[in-house]
Every structure is written in structure tokens, then in C-alpha cells.
Amino acid sequence: MTACSTEVRHGSGMGAAVAGMLLIAATYGMARFGVGLFAPYLAADRPELLPVLGWAAGAQFTSYAVAATLAARLVSHAPRRGLILAGVTATVGCLGVAVATEPTLFIIAVFIGGMGGGFASPALVPIIDVVVAPGLSSTAQSVVNTGTAVGVVASGLLVWAFPVIGPAWLLMALACAASAITMWLFVRARSDVASSRSRVSRPTSAPLIGRLRSLAIPGLAAILAGAGSSLLWTFGPLILTESGPVVSGQVGGLWIALGLGGLLGTTTGAVVQRIGRRGGWYVCTGGLALASAGIALSVATGDVWFAYASMALFGAGYMGLTTVLILWARQAWPENAGAGTSVLFIALATGQALGSVGFGAAQELLNPGSLAVLAAGLCLGGGFAAVAGKR
């Protein structure tokens, strides 16, 4: 046994988990979800892009699903390749948004940027499973996944510091490149991540249809919850600023509240160990539904504190929900956790793409409060869908 393998076996590996968290912070919290965060400033700086915001968000969620599909095959033999692709696509996409003034270019840039997260998660899940000590694996996955919350907080701070699209997105591009390089440096010389096979070894002779069936229930639940979550991710700031409870200068505070709430996602592994995956899923989807209902209440009463509390609850529920999906995939497909994660995250992104386009069209028909109530119903539907698979 080499010195390197001994270190991997006995070291905690949590340094790699922190590096992975930073990569998720950049590719998700900035490159992917930053479009909705900056929507009010987009409306002010580049009003010609606002009519295609729903389509751009749909394109972004779709590109995430495409990247996750490609990653399911790419990372099975070379997970480090996924880290490179994540950094390149997220960086290029952010640079494109920084300079885009025409709708087509904007949608293309958002599409490319959305691929970063789709490559990052399937690569990081098996890498973390290998390099982190077994007893810390669930905690490490939660830490990495909470990177989205860290990125959202950073984006909220950028909103305050640079309330102009160009400079803010240039800094986001720099963060995407730097985080990918940092994660690469952590694993470049590690022979144990040459393959993404999980520690838990099990033959892969089961038919593909049978393996996909094991993820059918969480996949359906993820589609519904993703559709419900898309309203706040894509149109949350616009709803709250255009309806009155929040003024433009407070948008950064909303997203910092969401990110800080999302830091509770680090507790998801412990919660799931106590009440099980389905129990954790019910808690998370219930939190998303309450958050959406809180936004409706904020719009109805004009109370900004309902908005802040709802965004914090939304962050906690969403980060916890995505962690539960990772843990669900690791249990269902222990021989290839990265591919299983891709399947469930593709389902989540599919729901978000459909929801973004649907909510964008529905804004002409429904008032903001009704949209928030509809989003809450979809999140509850995602929770109830998991009951269908209970044995």
C-alpha cells in the first residue's frame, strides 16, 4: 500500500469537501441562480432582455440537465474531467452574461453557464465518497451541497457592491475559474479518484430499466418540487420588488437571507439518519411550500419581514432537498452514485425548466400572490409524490 492510499484511507478528506463546496458555490449560487437574483437590475440596465427572462431560465435549467446527462457517462471513468468542464462552462457563461445586450446572446450565455453545475455535481459526489472518511461521508456531501447557499450569499453581497450586471458577472466568472482550479489541485495527484466507483461495491449487472425504476418515485417528486421552486429562483426578486414589499436596494438582503437559511443544509445528513430519507424529503418540501406561501403573504400585507423569513426558509428547504436527492441516489445506485445523482438532478432541473417557462407565461394571467400559492401547491405535490413509493 502506498503512502498516498494510506493517507486517503485514514485522513478525513474534509479539505476536499470544502473545495467542492466552493466549486458548487460558484457554479450553482452564482453562474446558475444568479440570473434570477439580478433580474431587477437586468430590468433596469438592459430592459430589452427582460421579456426573455423566463425562456432564459428555462434554457439554463435545460442545459443543466443536458450537462448532467453527459456527465453521467463522462465521470464514470474520469471524474476529474467533470471538474474541468464545470469550470470552463460556468466561466464562459458568466463572461457571456456580462457582455450580453441582445436576447439571443443572453440566452446562449445563460445556457452555457447553466451547464457548470450539471458537470460539477456528478463529478463531486463520487470524488467525495472516495476521498472522505466513511464515517464523514454523509456530512461531507451535505457540506459540498450547501455550497449553493454560500454562493447565493456571495451573490447577494455582489448585488450590494456592484448593482450593475457587467462588473458583477465578470467577478462571478473569476470565482468560477478559481474554484474549479482549486478543486482540481486537491485531486489532481490522487490515484483513488481515477474512477468514480463508490466505496460501496455492488455488481452492476441489474438491467438499466430496473435501476431506473428504483429512482422513479424520487424522480417524479423532484420534477414537481423543481417546478414549484422555480418561481422564487427565477422571479422571486421581481415579484417582491414589483409588488411593493421590497425596494430595489433590498434585493441583496433577500438573497443573503436565502443563502444563510441554506446553510442549514449541512444538517440534512444528520436529519436523514434520524428520520429517514422520506422523512427528510417531507420536511424539505413542506419548508418550500411554506416559503412560497410566505411570499404570497408578504405580497398581500406588504410586510418585508415575511419576505426575508420566507426566503431564508426557502433556502433551508431547497438545500436540504437537494442533499436528500444525493443521499437517495447513493442508496439506490451505490455502484455509481454519480450517475444516480445525475438522474435525480436532471428530474429536478426538468421541473425547474418547465416551471420557469410556465410561470413566465402565467404572469400575464395571475397576480403574484396566486403564482406563489400555485408554487406552494407544486412543492406539496412533490412531497406527496414520495408517499406513492412507500412500502
What does the DSSP assignment read for 149-164? HHHHHHHHHHHHH--S
This model's pTM is above 0.95 = no
Going by the DSSP 8-state scheme, the letter that residue 204 receives in this structure is: -
The 10s digit of each residue's pLDDT in 128-153 is 878 877 777 777 877 887 888 899 89
| Residue 45 clears pLDDT 50, i.e. is over it | yes
| Residue 75 clears pLDDT 80, i.e. is over it | no
Cβ-count burial of 126 within 10 angstroms (0-12 exposed, 13-18 middle, 19+ buried)? buried
The 10s digit of each residue's pLDDT in 335-373 is 776 678 778 888 998 999 899 899 988 988 899 999 999
The 10s digit of each residue's pLDDT in 148-177 is 889 989 988 887 888 778 888 999 999 999
Query: Residue 226 has what pLDDT?
Result: 95
Dihedral sign for Cα atoms in the order 121, 124, 130, 136: negative
Once rounded to an integer, what is the mean pLDDT over residues 13-22?
A: 86
Query: Residue 282 has what pLDDT?
Result: 93
Cβ-count burial of 182 within 10 angstroms (0-12 exposed, 13-18 middle, 19+ buried)? middle
Q: Whole-angstrom Cα distance, residue 172 to residue 90?
A: 9
Going by the DSSP 8-state scheme, the letter that residue 11 receives in this structure is: S
Q: Residue 78, by phi and psi: left (phi above 0), alpha (psi -120 to 50) or beta?
A: beta
pLDDT bracket for residue 210 (50, 70, 90):
low
Helices (H), the chain: 3-10, 14-24, 34-37, 39-45, 53-74, 79-99, 103-131, 137-145, 147-161, 165-187, 208-213, 216-230, 236-242, 251-262, 268-301, 304-332, 337-362, 368-385
How many other CB atoms are there within 10 angstroms of residue 191's CB atom?
10
What would you report as the CA-atom Rg of the chain, rounded to the nearest whole angstrom?
20
58 and 79 in contact (C-beta within 8 Å)?
no
Once rounded to an integer, what is the mean pLDDT over residues 18-36?
A: 90
Q: Whole-angstrom Cα distance, residue 235 to residue 57?
A: 10
